[in-house]
Amino acid sequence: MQYHVNGELVSAEDATVSVEDRGFKYGDAAFETLRAYGGDPFEWQAHRDRLQRTAETLGFGDAVPDDLRERVGETLAENDLSEAYVRLSVTRGVQPGKLTPAGDVSPSVVVIVKELPRGGTEGESVWDGPADVQTVKTRRIPSEALPADAKTHNYLNGILARIELRRAATEEYRAEECLMRDAAGNVVEGATSNLFLVTEAGLKTPSEDLDLLPGVTRSVVIDLAREEEFPVETGEYSVSDVRDADEAFLTNSTWEIRPIGRVDGIDVGTGPMTKLLQRLFDERVENEHY
């Protein structure tokens, strides 16, 4: 594999950053994960804009290179990939070992790609069935402490939640994703996914006013539902609301739309709304990229 590191294509074994890089030392970095379909990044502008916003939140907005999309294209081409997972990272770069960052930034910019199956109506899913999820004790970090809409290298919150899942796993129930709540007890998201519920009232998802990272795929799903004139509600929901839903599913760039099979061992499952949104999503990908 060839990765893009600081403007150069290098082999995976040679793709390194300095141990003095602040992304390594402090998690002082912005990143995005997205999918490439047919050789093109899906929802590129939305991902690029969010990366920019995160970098600006961290105080190095000028570090995101103008030619980042070209670097993605070069990395895909060098690896002869048209269907891929793509990860973009922009760190504050190498600086002296002080917590307070220097004003001048010499960023590290990395593009990593990995092969995925074809998407769209003729494609196949990266998952082999609905996801079982489990509520965890680890709460989402409040935005007053760390802005929830900033996608940084500091993912300890989600890591701790996933460790909870591993410790709680049994032969009968082994959850693949956690259900995280905010300090007030509202369900907000998974460790790497956004949450949707379906009830008689329509499609529901936790509000962006809560401590969550609004995903790009989440936004696409909301758009698709509204285009079909389905009721879409954003608000505050409890664990019981998820357990009692007629349908529930998760979204992220890699999974796309993945049904939830069980919540804390309670059956939820897929249904007509989830299946329709999956079809509409696949059709959008097919029309835009193939």
Check if the beta carbon of residue 187 is closer than 8 Å to that of residue 175.
no
pLDDT digits (tens, 9 = 90+) for 52-88: 999 999 999 999 999 999 999 999 999 999 999 999 9
User: pLDDT tens-digit profile of 242-280?
Assistant: 999 999 999 999 999 999 999 999 999 899 999 999 999
Q: What is the pLDDT of residue 269?
A: 83
Identify the DSSP state of 121: T
Kindly state the helix (H) or strand (E) to which residue 215 belongs, with its residue range.
none
What is the structure's pLDDT at 90? 98
Nearest to 4 by CA among 106, 82, 74: 74
Average pLDDT (161-185) is 95
Nearest to 119 by CA among 186, 181, 43: 43
Gap between the Cα atoms of 187 and 83, Å rounded: 33
The per-residue pLDDT for range 201-236, each reduced to its tens digit, is 999 999 999 999 999 999 999 999 999 999 999 999
> Residue 208: what residue type?
E
Q: Which domains, from first to last, does the chain contain?
A: 2-115 (3.30.470.10), 131-289 (3.20.10.10)
Q: Is 159 left (phi over 0), alpha (psi -120 to 50) or beta?
A: alpha
